[in-house]
Amino acid sequence: MNIRIDELKKIERVSQPFKLASRDFRPKGTVVSFNGACMGSSVGGRELVVIAGPCAVESREQMREVSQAVMKAGVKALRGGAFKPRTSPYSFQGLGREGLEILAEMRAEFGLAVVTEVISPQDVDLVAEYADVLQIGARNMPNYALLHAVGKAQRPVLLKRGMMSTLKELLMAAEYILSHGNDRIILCERGIRTFEKYTRNTVDISAVPLLKRLSHLPVIVDPSHGTGKRELVGPVSRAAVAAGSDGLLIEVHPQPEEALSDGPQSLKPDRFAVMMRGLRPVAEAVGRTL
Amino acid sequence: MNIRIDELKKIERVSQPFKLASRDFRPKGTVVSFNGACMGSSVGGRELVVIAGPCAVESREQMREVSQAVMKAGVKALRGGAFKPRTSPYSFQGLGREGLEILAEMRAEFGLAVVTEVISPQDVDLVAEYADVLQIGARNMPNYALLHAVGKAQRPVLLKRGMMSTLKELLMAAEYILSHGNDRIILCERGIRTFEKYTRNTVDISAVPLLKRLSHLPVIVDPSHGTGKRELVGPVSRAAVAAGSDGLLIEVHPQPEEALSDGPQSLKPDRFAVMMRGLRPVAEAVGRTL
Amino acid sequence: MNIRIDELKKIERVSQPFKLASRDFRPKGTVVSFNGACMGSSVGGRELVVIAGPCAVESREQMREVSQAVMKAGVKALRGGAFKPRTSPYSFQGLGREGLEILAEMRAEFGLAVVTEVISPQDVDLVAEYADVLQIGARNMPNYALLHAVGKAQRPVLLKRGMMSTLKELLMAAEYILSHGNDRIILCERGIRTFEKYTRNTVDISAVPLLKRLSHLPVIVDPSHGTGKRELVGPVSRAAVAAGSDGLLIEVHPQPEEALSDGPQSLKPDRFAVMMRGLRPVAEAVGRTL
Amino acid sequence: MNIRIDELKKIERVSQPFKLASRDFRPKGTVVSFNGACMGSSVGGRELVVIAGPCAVESREQMREVSQAVMKAGVKALRGGAFKPRTSPYSFQGLGREGLEILAEMRAEFGLAVVTEVISPQDVDLVAEYADVLQIGARNMPNYALLHAVGKAQRPVLLKRGMMSTLKELLMAAEYILSHGNDRIILCERGIRTFEKYTRNTVDISAVPLLKRLSHLPVIVDPSHGTGKRELVGPVSRAAVAAGSDGLLIEVHPQPEEALSDGPQSLKPDRFAVMMRGLRPVAEAVGRTL
């Protein structure tokens, strides 16, 4: 339980439908900390967090190559899916437990924290054994059984906004997790569905300052899913940081053209490193470090 | 297993991403049958199916009043949620097992088939004990763990389109269920999210003829959630039938103003009966019976 | 001036932002009449109106073939654009005055009323010389200078809902025309933009009963633009009539595959005749004639 | 005519539907210059342009107060509507010619360039007499008669994206203007319509880098209309600059609470000055000046 008993008295002062998620409940803001193998990390403070890695864990070699590259570029948390929610039952569904084991090896070898998705309440314990942060994907944001399960798990949660969910609904989803006393939640804007066809989704950049006002929870942006195009990841990442985002979630793959999923939106390691360098002056311009 | 071995050879002829759900796979169309206590029913044939009842099971009295009323109006299947996916963790979440028991009593007493929602893979066996048709709600359409579970359950499934899902994604969700050999799936158009504010959702009426062309599965429409306004339920129901819908899913509540959820879109029993009478000539005009 | 002086006193009772367009202003409903060469027609009464013809006037031969066909199928009003608002400046922009002359010839020869679009305030007088009904296209619904101009022209107006406009905005656009005393306005639902990709637009079927409740003005539906697919025109037309539409606007072209615009959504004359026959029983089922 | 004859040969190399608007047509990018009373300004170069002022010109006093304030904050171009496209015919429609005269006085007094909207082809000559830049509002982006008229006027044009127009459609609208040889076009992202309700529109931040890649035309962002909330204007402005925007269009009003339109999204002069200061380090972080 991370929500303190004395805090709970404040709940009556909150006029929003989201009570524990409201900024009024905890005006100073929440810093979510999580651990990697040999160091800790946190989101919501002065330092920005970048979580990088491939869409899916495909092999030990792929993950080692990515881990090395993103670590060199200054990243402290590794993403990679072992359980993949795919539109088609015939698409690659992830390596499952084997993928989790590979992720754990990367943590041991490179000291990176592991962020990975869980898609079923039944898998929460298994995933929590390996992961430092449990990710709830956009499709599962309104999966209340899963939200209850990760709430009970008392582990940090990366909660992605549904592709057609309002910000109010996102905060209500966080409220499900918070209602179990688990306040280690990182909100993630990852683009919403609109009529525009050039991009896979439309990144709602105003969600960043709005969520920061409405809630005390940290907010990050996923420009990879948000745009679906690697050439837009750099500019949208800079925009996110300038708008006040506490971090970024970015897809990096050594051979994007051969990726089992999300190739077109993944950056190669060298391009990712360039992007990271371009991000630092923007972070400093808004009083943050990277 | 309902998909026949000799049918599976046809799969290569299907050019769509949805294989088993495609109309090419089974050109003549699928009729989904399900049982109530003392009679059978089916969707996809000449006769239309109306599934009616309250949003949530609230009490034995409420359910008895509704059951009696809808049965008199010619309805053979009763809807009512025992597990409710709600935006807020503080809203009424359904009566759970007690709600299922009440539904089973209604089946025994009135001979109505029971259609009720399941929101977690872990509850599928429990709900399947009581229900004739397992409902997957709009929020859970892209919940693949749940789709696998109801696929394995080998029970008829009412699969609602996600409020943010394309028709292709709906058919791919059906494909998840079909991939377990379970072909007793009823697709349901229930309105999508748009910028229009007068209605809760926008019923995509062209989804009906499109789904009937793309797939062999029966299609019904939910004008209650689709519009969010009871005064629109009648006209949109007539439109659905005229467009070729195989049935309707309609919210009926004895005291809508006191309903624990979805009051503004629920019809009172007497108004529902009037609506049913107005529906018959439209059904006949397009060669169907009710 | 068609709005009567004694009616204007009622305006204070109207609580909606649209005053003259509100159903409260004229509870009994408005029947809009317009003339063809040798007969009158009206929209909003018991009889449905079907306005049919090609997207664009291309030639005298094309228009004669279409006119003959639609007249035989029971149609009294001909559509066809002489001024075409096209996304690209390099696409066919319409025959202009020559197109208007061809339309006038069709009226003389076949007795059909002429419905045609005007896209600039400067052209209103010219188009009004030839047309029985001035059409405001979806792109121009929020073109207030044009709305003022057709309001002043005192001719019947077919006002299409913008593809991005709420129903409130549509009624406010009608209010612009009504504010000049011109109450001969036919509202037209023609599909809105959503994320769905199978159809060109999403027909908002609940717009029909909603507009009929909110306003006294007649409402028709354009299933051709609304769906963008000719195979959906029949079912969506039946749905529109069942939902209470006062008529339909349908694209018919003798050789859709060679049409200069909107070929994929145009019906061939024979298929249009079949569709008209299928529509009659639906009209009768809801107490209308065709 | 600003497009050079020798450039026109390149048109065949352009594979996009927008030819003259394509980046391939003029790879180096276009800098649009326009004049105020005593100095010139340009958009698309290293220096960012901020265009600021009230939604509507309401009075000489209001405009003088705003002009003084924005000039002090480093702004070189003044916005303010004399012709206002309003949803309701009963809302304030702008001061018309009197508003234009006030704008011209401000130019004379403060040396600010004047940017103001034109809403009818018939008014283009009148507005061009007073304005340095002709603005086409979001509602009129698909008003092709108006696009032709401003194309012929050979004056700089600020072309706003329609609230439900794709980027391709925006570039095709620019193509209408370019087809008259007028290449002094500034594109403006001003938010699109989505299902989100906290904000008036959703700023599509990825539109900035996408438009810069697809086209040679300069791109600015309007965070005032884009968000509809003054507290979001600062963060979204910073995001726009970080994403590569060539400038900003911002609503400033001395008494927002008494504004005749768009009060809730207008900044007071002092808050605007603070915002401008916060913008400079972000501009420098991405290699621009302000």
Each residue of B68-114: pLDDT tens digit? 999 999 999 999 999 999 999 999 999 999 999 999 999 999 999 99
Which residues neighbour C224 within 8 Å (Cβ) at sequence distance 6 or greater? C230, C233, C249, C250, C251, C262, C265, C266, C267
Residue D206 is nearest to which of A168, A227, A243, comparing CB atoms? Answer: A227
B8 touches chain A (CB under 8 A): no
Is the ipTM above a cut-off of 0.85? yes
pLDDT at B81: 97
Low-confidence winner among A243-252, B38-47, C204-213 (lowest mean pLDDT): B38-47
User: Which DSSP string do the residues of A272-289 spell out, in sequence order?
Assistant: HHHHHHHHHHHHHHTT-B
User: Neighbours of D (≥3 Cβ pairs closer than 8 A)?
Assistant: A, B, C
Each residue of A112-139: pLDDT tens digit? 999 999 999 999 999 999 999 999 999 9
* Average pLDDT of span B138-161: 97
**Contact at CB, B120 and A88, closer than 8 angstroms:** no
**Residues A226 and A203: beta-carbon distance below 8 Å:** yes
C143 touches chain D (CB under 8 A): yes
Residue D120 is nearest to which of C142, C145, C169, comparing CB atoms? Answer: C145
Query: Distances in Å between the alpha carbon of B205 and those of A193, B190, B202, C206?
Result: 20, 10, 9, 9
Give the closest-approach CA distance of C196 to chain A in angstroms: 8
Which residues neighbour A6 within 8 Å (Cβ) at sequence distance 6 or greater? none
d(CA B203, CA B229): 12
Going by pLDDT thresholds of 50, 70 and 90, the confidence category of residue C5 is confident
Mean pLDDT, chain C, whole residue set:
95
Burial of D258 (0-12, 13-18, 19+ CB in 10 A): exposed
pLDDT at D3: 85
D224 touches chain A (CB under 8 A): no
- Beta strands D40-43 and D32-35 are antiparallel
Q: Give the end-to-end CA distance of chain C in Å, rounded to a whole number.
A: 30
d(CA D250, CA D248): 6
* Average pLDDT of span C76-81: 96
Burial of B17 (0-12, 13-18, 19+ CB in 10 A): middle
d(CA D54, CA D272): 12
Q: To probe the interface with B, which of A141, A143, A168, A202 has the most B CB atoms within 10 Å?
A: A143
Single out the residue of C209, C205, C271 nearest to residue C52, CA to CA. C271
Residue with structure tokens 């600020």? D158
3-class DSSP state of D202: strand
d(CA D200, CA D222): 12
How far is C-alpha B102 from the chain's CA centre? 19
Which residues neighbour C127 within 8 Å (Cβ) at sequence distance 6 or greater? C82, C83, C100, C116, C117, C118, C134
Each residue of C22-40: pLDDT tens digit? 999 999 999 999 887 556 6
**Residues B72 and B273: beta-carbon distance below 8 Å:** yes
Tokens of C193: 């933009």
pLDDT at A225: 97
**Contact at CB, B242 and C244, closer than 8 angstroms:** no
Whether the per-residue pLDDT at A253 is higher than 90: the answer is yes
Residue A145 one-letter amino acid: A
Residues in D closer than 8 angstroms to C175, CB to CB, are 88-90
D99 touches chain A (CB under 8 A): no
pTM of the predicted model as reported, rounded to 2 decimal places = 0.96
User: Which DSSP string do the residues of C81-146 spell out, in sequence order?
Assistant: BSS---SSTTS----THHHHHHHHHHHHHH--EEEEE--SGGGHHHHHHH-SEEEEPGGGTT-HHH
**Contact at CB, B85 and A142, closer than 8 angstroms:** yes
B240 touches chain C (CB under 8 A): yes
Residue D231 one-letter amino acid: E
What DSSP designation does B182 have?
Answer: -
Alpha helix (H) residue ranges in chain B: 5-8, 60-72, 97-110, 124-130, 144-153, 167-178, 207-214, 223-227, 230-242, 269-285
More confident call, A263 vs D249: D249
User: Which DSSP string do the residues of D254-270 spell out, in sequence order?
Assistant: S-GGG-SS-GGGPBPHH
Single out the residue of D193, B261, C198, B173 nearest to residue A139, CA to CA. B173
pLDDT at A204: 98
Each residue of B217-252: pLDDT tens digit? 999 999 999 999 999 999 999 999 999 999 999 999
C152 touches chain D (CB under 8 A): no
More confident call, B9 vs B275: B275
Whether the per-residue pLDDT at C284 is higher than 60: the answer is yes
User: Neighbours of A (≥3 Cβ pairs closer than 8 A)?
Assistant: B, C, D
- Provide the number of CB pairs (under 8 Å) joining chain A to chain B: 77
pLDDT at D126: 97
Tokens of B273: 């009966």
Residues in D closer than 8 angstroms to B195, CB to CB, are 164, 193-195
d(CA C142, CA D133): 22
D119 touches chain C (CB under 8 A): yes
* Average pLDDT of span C183-199: 97
B120 touches chain C (CB under 8 A): no
Residue C19 one-letter amino acid: K
User: Neighbours of C (≥3 Cβ pairs closer than 8 A)?
Assistant: A, B, D
Rounded (10°) angle between helices B144-153 and B167-178: 40
User: What is the dihedral sign for C-alpha A4, A10, A11, A15?
Assistant: negative
Whether the per-residue pLDDT at B1 is higher than 60: the answer is no
Residue with structure tokens 């020869």? C109
* Average pLDDT of span C82-101: 94
Q: To probe the interface with B, which of D163, D192, D195 has the most B CB atoms within 10 Å?
A: D195
* Average pLDDT of span A16-33: 94
Among all residues of chain A, which has the CA nearest to that of C164? A195
pLDDT at A38: 58
d(CA D262, CA D240): 21
**Residues A173 and A188: beta-carbon distance below 8 Å:** no
In chain A the domains, ranked by start, together with CATH numbers, are 30-282 (3.20.20.70)
pLDDT at A134: 98
Which residues neighbour B15 within 8 Å (Cβ) at sequence distance 6 or greater? B24
Taking only the tens of pLDDT, chain D with its 290 residues reads: 578 878 888 888 888 999 999 999 999 999 999 887 556 688 999 999 999 999 999 999 999 999 999 999 999 999 999 999 999 999 999 999 999 999 999 999 999 999 999 999 999 999 999 999 999 999 999 999 999 999 999 999 999 999 999 999 999 999 999 999 999 999 999 999 999 999 999 999 999 999 999 999 999 999 999 999 999 999 999 999 999 999 999 999 999 999 888 889 999 999 999 999 999 999 999 999 99
What DSSP designation does A158 have?
Answer: E
A195 touches chain C (CB under 8 A): yes
More confident call, C13 vs D124: D124
Alpha helix (H) residue ranges in chain D: 5-8, 60-72, 97-110, 124-130, 144-153, 167-178, 207-214, 223-227, 230-242, 269-285
Beta bridge partners of C100: none
